[in-house]
Structure 1
Amino acid sequence: MDRKGAVLIYIFLVIVVLTILGVAIFNKSVSERSLAQQYVESTQAFWLAEAGVNQALSALRNDYDTASVSATELGAGEFSAQISASGSDRTVVSTGEVPSGGTARSSRDIQVEISKDIPANFYDNAIYSAGEVDLNGNSYTVNGNVIYGDDLDYSQNNITGTVTEDSSITPLARFDFQELRDLSSAQQNVYVPDHNKLVNEITGSEVFPSS
């Protein structure tokens, strides 16, 4: 084999190797781009499903018995939510899909269980909060127990009852204010504003109840 033939073979081998490397790099780039797009669309679908849950909660607050949510386009996709009833409880299944108006490339579901029943120990507490409670300063007294689910900023000396952290408690989907008012009236703890002061509407007293 002469020298020219050997050079041609080497050049051919180099071209083959470079071609293989180029194809591999191209395929890797396409694969990574596809994975990145899938991640973005999956995240978008999740937040669309969250939007569906929020829409369902809003509908339940307005009409707990016949609430419904229509399919809604939002941003890059759409969400829909189904509300089913079991006694006084409600189950929300929300689906977010990307893109909208066709076959979804990414879909995420969120299921939420909702109960409007007031917890058995609810009225045993002066403060019952699933979120954060911030009692600023020292010019207050809480006559009773405090139960909270997130965070509490307070002065121990200003609370006469027990303080309990319970991360399992959740916000009430629907609160029966009439039930609370009836209980407050029975305890003579209902106050109304009267000339920039609070007055017990039952006793006429300006003094806050001690318990």
Structure 2
Amino acid sequence: MSDTDDRARHGLAPWHGTTILLVRKGSDVVLAGDGQVSVGNTIMKSNAKKLRRLSKGEGRDVIAGFAGSTADALTLFERLEGKLEKHPGQLARACVELAKDWRQDKYLRRLEAMMAVADKQSSFVLTGSGDVLEPEDGLIGIGSGGSFALAAARALIDVDGMSAEAIAKKAMKIAADICIYTNQNVIFEKL
């Protein structure tokens, strides 16, 4: 039984919130995440940090954002950091190894989160179903407002002179204007 099912069984509203957007344009990579965490129709926190810079140093910088349970995401961030230490400079391999663990391990299998991760060369979406997906267009949107932010970013990606950061800012504002589980308290990580 998932955490969402367990919460519903106990009469608790499901956790909602989060819009994570990754924009890759030219040599720039920008990850954006809003700060809202909601339970039912209540905003529990408006300034949550859902992004993290992982492996650092000599072209090995990795940025990651999560949608889902915070405790679960922190566990996954730690696991991914461990995989990156074991496979330095090999983001794809580290992601595949994490996805295998996430799907096969009895404890990890219960974790409810999605992750968007990127380095200078690659971007991936990781899920508990064992998915490691690399987008064709360099754009990733996850979370409750992810599809809104992704659609806006796709509309803006070919605008001449618009940087990855400008696209991310505009797309996140559009998502916040549409999704009630997304706010305009956005933070960014850049490569």
Asked whether the two chains share a fold, i.e. TM above 0.5, the reply is: no
TM-score calculated relative to the size of structure 2: 0.25
Rg: which structure is higher?
1
Q: Which has the higher contact order (CA 8 A, sep 6+)?
A: 2
TM-score calculated relative to the size of structure 1: 0.23
